[in-house]
Chain A
């Protein structure tokens, strides 16, 4: 093969290599973005300072200084827990006893919202959930009514409880005890 032919083949190979690098790094970044954001949410400085690992924590009311999660709603009170099923199931319970809107939502490690229950669906009853990892056995108490078992799509994830507040100053004494009924504890 001539030197010219060798050079052209090397050039083509290099171009394909560069193009593959662009495409693969693009796809990898798109795939990794939600995982990385969730990791920061679950294990970042704020999560550590609030001590949310398998434990409920109660965020301060949303203000302009709230900069941990984009688009925070000033009309909601947030309570959180970063669940970790690597050591076994996690028990989630709450009994807000409010007639205004509240919900408990569960998110997988890739940010998918795989479960939500609100005040209307709870119908005045306490929330009592056992969260288990895929392929693991639930504890015996998970099958006892009114407990409900949920299989999480990932071993780690995030719980977000929302309580509606349209006038926090007037509602504080009702809402704060109500959201502090949230429990998120390992079995």
Chain B
């Protein structure tokens, strides 16, 4: 017959094992939702990805949870489309300490904006509250292109979104009331190009 100390040791081992199993289950859920939120129902255009079920009651269990964590209170794509970039066009992860040039043509929507977020999905503490470029503030060149730069210092003549510090950078392109063709074919987006400027170790 096992002694009291043996029984207590066995109970403690069982509790530790089940605690670890619980932590593994919750931790894996967190990892899937936070680190790989775009693993399904997505379309990728250039460096930009959109979840086609954002804001939709048809979202599955994982999509709903990932959107709640990363894009809470999203609208469906007939109202607003959200394209998110975490890499530049070369496939390198965006960093706030680096400088990027983002350029393209205004998307097929009633109104649009590009906003710079830190990797916690909140705004940078940017000087002069320069958080975004939008369809009203964008200056188009003779070819109808807009451009912006991100990073610690501005580039003369180009709209600047300051991204202080050294952390992950997330760019979000919002399309308000996208045209029907865009809603049906999100991959038809003329994706703004994201190009690193200079060396970024």
> Which residues of A does B touch, CB under 8 Å?
14, 17-19, 21-31, 33-34, 37-38, 41, 62-64, 66-67, 69-75, 101, 103, 105, 107-108, 110-114, 116, 118, 120, 153, 158, 160, 164, 166-167
Cβ of A111 and Cβ of B64 under 8 Å apart? yes
Q: Which of B100-148 contact A (CB under 8 A)?
A: 110-111, 113, 115, 117, 120-126, 129, 131-132, 134-137
Q: Which of A30, A107, A110, A167 meets B73, CB within 8 Å?
A: A107
A11 CB to closest chain B CB (Å) equals 12
CB pair B25–A21 under 8 Å, yes or no, is yes
**Chain A residues within an 8 Å CB radius of B67:** 34, 111
Given known contacts A21-B21, A71-B117, A73-B132, what 13 new A-B pairs fall within 8 Å (CB)?
A18-B18, A30-B29, A30-B61, A33-B65, A33-B68, A34-B67, A34-B68, A69-B72, A70-B120, A112-B64, A113-B74, A153-B57, A167-B136
Number of interface residues of B (CB under 8 A): 55
Residues of B within 8 A of A (CB): 14, 17-18, 21-22, 24-26, 28-30, 32-33, 55-57, 59, 61-62, 64-65, 67-76, 79, 110-111, 113, 115, 117, 120-126, 129, 131-132, 134-137, 172, 174, 176-177
Given contacts A70-B70, A74-B132, contact A33 B24 (CB under 8 A): no
B131: chain A residues within 8 A (beta carbon): 62, 64, 74
Q: Which residue of B lies closest to A20 (CB)?
A: B21
**A-chain residues with CB within 8 Å of residue B122 when the two chains form the complex:** 64, 66-67, 70-72
Q: How far is the CB of A67 from chain B (nearest CB, A)?
A: 5
Q: Which residues of A contact B59 (CB under 8 A)?
A: 112
Assuming the A-B contacts A71-B121, A114-B57, are A103 and B75 also in contact, with contact meaning beta carbons closer than 8 angstroms in the complex?
yes
Q: Are B68 and A22 in contact (CB under 8 A)?
A: no
On whether A118 and B79 interact (CB within 8 A), knowing A29-B25, A30-B33, A63-B129, the answer reads yes
Bound Cα distance from A111 to B131, whole angstroms: 26
Residue of B nearest to A38 (CB): B68
> Which of these, B65, B73, B137, contacts A31 with CB under 8 Å?
B65
B58 nearest CB across to chain A (Å) = 9
B123 and A34: CB pair below 8 A?
no
B123 touches A64 (CB 8 A): yes
Among the listed A21, A70, A73, A114, which residue makes an inter-chain contact with B69, where contact means beta carbons less than 8 Å apart?
A70
Instruction: Return chain B residues, CB-CB under 8 Å to A70.
Output: 69-72, 120-122
6 contacts between A and B (CB under 8 A): A19-B21, A25-B24, A26-B29, A29-B30, A30-B29, A73-B132
